[in-house]
Amino acid sequence: DSGVTQTPKHLITATGQRVTLRCSPRSGDLSVYWYQQSLDQGLQFLIQYYNGEERAKGNILERFSAQQFPDLHSELNLSSLELGDSALYFCASSPTPGSTEAFFGQGTRLTVV
Amino acid sequence: GENVEQHPSTLSVQEGDSAVIKCTYSDSASNYFPWYKQELGKGPQLIIDIRSNVGEKKDQRIAVTLNKTAKHFSLHITETQPEDSAVYFCAAIFSGGGADGLTFGKGTHLIIQP
């Protein structure tokens, strides 16, 4: 167990809908990362937050957004969902932005139908 | 940006034999290279890592080598066991105190044949 908790584990929704994925980092970790894993694109970095502030953006679509709350949990919001958004979404955490070790949660499997 | 290539995509070895997975990276500024193991239904788990000031690192049956000049690094697993069956990902990042995410290879599905 990495100590990173993600909910829900599975999510099925229709095209055009909006969903929210939740992540609780390891105790003491201030930095949260979101990654998307799909068969064709592999594991791709989406966005990073540190202590409530956005620190870096990767290949995140404009329809997607995230935030980190004062208690350090993070949410990834996906809107206007398309079939191609079906993927595994992982959250990872590390103590600081410059920390090299990142610990991953078990992921949320999103299926858009 | 960084680009990481990983080979092979699938590797089948007999139990007890060795397995080698290779990765190349494009950004010479990258200085941290972790390897993750992902089992079915689970998130990636860090198994070993190496920094650019080190050429080789070993942890029991697992070792990683880094060639900065050629910009490639490899994972070596000796005396493979059935529980080594999983998907393995290499990654690279410049950890200079800034903020960024890992760039991952596409993964290698390692199959240990009994």
Question: Residue A97: pLDDT band by 50, 70, 90 thresholds?
Answer: low
Q: Is A44 on the interface with B (CB under 8 A)?
A: yes
- Report the distance separating Cα A73 and Cα A51, nearest Å: 10
**Cβ separation of A101 and B49 shorter than 8 Å?**
yes
Per residue in A47-80, pLDDT tens? 999 999 998 899 899 999 999 999 999 999 999 9
Average predicted confidence (pLDDT) for chain A: 93
Q: What integer pLDDT is reported at residue B113 of this predicted model?
A: 95
pLDDT confidence bin for A18, thresholds 50/70/90? very high
Q: Do A2 and B43 touch (CB under 8 A)?
A: yes
Indicate which of B38, B88, B93, B109 best probes the interface with A, i.e. most A CBs within 10 Å of its own CB.
Answer: B38
Q: Which of A10, A36, A45 should one mutate to test binding to chain B, selecting the residue with the greatest count of B CBs within 10 A?
A: A45
Instruction: Work out the minimum CA distance from B114 to partner chain A, whole angstroms.
Output: 27
Question: Is the Cβ–Cβ distance between A20 and A79 less than 8 Å?
Answer: no
3-state secondary structure B50-86: EECCCCEEEECCEEEEEECCCCEEEEEECCCCHHHCE
- Considering chain B, what percentage of its residues have pLDDT values greater than 70? 96
Pairing of strands B108-113, B10-14: parallel
- The mean predicted confidence, pLDDT, of chain B is 93
Q: Which residues in A lie closer than 8 A to residue B97 (C-beta atoms)?
A: 97-98
Task: Look at B49 and A105 and tell me if their CB atoms are within 8 Å.
Answer: no
Contact A50 B32 (CB under 8 A): no
Alpha-carbon distance of B73 to B26, in angstroms, equals 12
